[in-house]
Amino acid sequence: MTQLILEQALNGLQFGLMLFLLAAGLTLVFGIMDMINLAHGSLYMVGAYLAAAVTQASGSFMVGIGTAMLATALLGALLEVSLLRRLYARDHLAQVLATFALILIANEVVRMIWGAQPMLLNAPDALSGPVSIGGFFYPAYRLLLIGVGVLVAGLLYLLVSHTRLGMWVRAGASNREMTEALGVNVRLLFTAVFAVGAALCALAGAMLGPLLAVQVGMGESILILAFVVIVIGGIGSIRGALVGSLLVGLVDTLGRAALPSLLREVLSPEVASSLGPALASILIYVLMAAILFWRPEGLFPARG
């Protein structure tokens, strides 16, 4: 039982850290640019497809990830310059409608290029087996995901909180006009922030590709979780995105593993088997409602 709990806790940590890669870019765009970008999940999908295609062509998983991040960052920058920049001054309804249209366009473009069938993206052979952690065996690839998530979280924290670029970003979010008057090119800065967010989407898609299906529409379901994360953590806060991602990952994973077993103690196996997954799927939304009741601005609001 202890090993099962430890395994599911590590799975939740891994899922939460990968969710952070998606939520970090989303919270930066939402919190800094005041831009609701529903197409953020489509960048995650495009990154996964690019990683799968390049990995199959080159035979190198690392080349696939690097190419996907670079290409998706360029795509994100182009998208910001050509379309999204025109939506900053619009209300949120216009942003939602425009970016929802981008979801539909992206799905059809991906379907035309790679087809409707899921693509195969395999983890490196060297990471395909388990490793021993004090007598407990855990998949090596999932440990790599945890390490990558921790590394990216640390780098983002240093970038936003302890560099001149991060200072410009925070200043541009607080008072764009004053920041521009001080000589900072806020327009170029926002494009760079969007490109970084797109690259993080591609990294998440590429890293999760061997675990989840690389298929059309894969970005929509995980985008909902990303919005839950930034609402829980606080819009515009990297620290909030990290804490929110870990909470969502752990609650979702442990809930799906533990609830059916707990319900079998008081209900019949048939009812527990059907009711457990249903209740587990709503746990994160119950968590979000509870946190919003306690702290409507989120756990770590950017301007708190």
pLDDT at 102: 92
Residue 135 inside a domain? The answer is no
H helices of the chain, where? 2-33, 40-58, 61-82, 92-114, 140-162, 164-174, 176-181, 186-208, 218-233, 238-263, 269-294
Instruction: Express as a percent the part of the chain with pLDDT over 70.
Output: 96
275-298 burial code (b ≥16 CB/10 A, e <16):
ebeebbeebbeebbeebeeeeeeb
Residue 189 lies in a domain: yes
Q: Is residue 130 part of a domain?
A: no
The widest CA-to-CA distance across the chain, in whole angstroms, is 68
**Structure-block tokens of residue 161:** 């909180």
127-160: pLDDT as tens digits: 777 777 767 788 888 888 999 989 998 888 888 8
Q: Is 134 a member of any domain?
A: no
pLDDT band at residue 304, thresholds of 50, 70 and 90?
A: very low
Pairs from 155-162 (Cβ < 8 Å, separation ≥ 24): 156/24, 156/238, 157/238, 157/239, 160/238, 161/238
64 within a domain of the structure (yes/no): yes
Pair 225, 19: CB distance under 8 Å: yes
Short-list 7, 66, 6, 29, CA closest to 302 = 29
208-237: average pLDDT:
86
The DSSP element (H or E) to which 136 belongs, if any, is: strand 136-139
Structural domain contains residue 301? no
Are the beta carbons of 107 and 42 closer than 8 angstroms? Answer: yes
Q: What is the CATH number of the domain that holds 213?
A: 1.10.3470
pLDDT tens sequence across 4-16 = 778 888 888 988 9
Q: How many domains does the chain have?
A: 1
Q: Is residue 282 part of a domain?
A: yes
Residue 125 is classified by DSSP as: G
Q: Which domain holds residue 165?
A: 2-124+140-294
Cα distance between residue 49 and residue 209, in whole Å: 9
pLDDT (tens digit per residue) in 24-67: 888 877 777 778 888 888 999 999 999 999 999 988 899 999 99
- pLDDT digit string (tens) for 169-182? 777 766 777 777 87
Global pTM exceeds 0.85? yes
Output the CA–CA distances (angstroms, integers) from residue 251 to 103, 116, 176, 286, in the order listed.
28, 32, 38, 10
| Residue that wins the pLDDT comparison between 268 and 93 | 93
Q: For residue 300, tell me if it sits in a domain.
A: no
Q: Is 175 helix (H, G, I), strand (E, B) or coil?
A: coil
